[in-house]
Amino acid sequence: MNCYYSNLIEGHDTHPVDIERALKNDYSQDARKRDLQLEALAHIKVQKWIDSGGLKTGLGLTPEGSRDIHRRFCELLPNDLLWVEDPATK
């Protein structure tokens, strides 16, 4: 549920049922929905890494720790979620 609410705050509405399906490697045929499922998995995997002690003690509060978390998360994202577009300038 943490993943669901965190992504929802970002405007990425991935229903908990779709997150559960993704955890079972059951992905949507719809590309946008599948990308959101993969984003949810990335979130869960990185959180598990942090919870298991993967992030060195104290680094979560440093630029180095933030970069490590961000890098790990982005490595797991589909390419379409690595880009943003300014609606005004395209």
Q: Where are the domains of the chain?
A: 2-82
| Predicted local distance difference test score (pLDDT) of residue 56 | 78
| Rounded CA separation 65/56 (Å) | 8
Task: Residue count of the chain, please give it.
Answer: 90
Check whether 90 has a pLDDT greater than 90.
no
For the entire predicted model, the pTM comes to 0.84
| Predicted local distance difference test score (pLDDT) of residue 8 | 87
- Angle between helix 63-75 and 31-51 (nearest 10): 140
Question: In the block, which residue shows the tokens 């880009």?
Answer: 83
| Predicted local distance difference test score (pLDDT) of residue 39 | 95
Find, among 47, 38, 33, the residue nearest to 2 by Cα: 47
Average pLDDT over every residue of 67-77: 94
Tell me: the pLDDT tens digits for 7-62?
A: 888 888 899 999 999 999 999 999 999 999 999 999 999 999 999 988 877 777 88
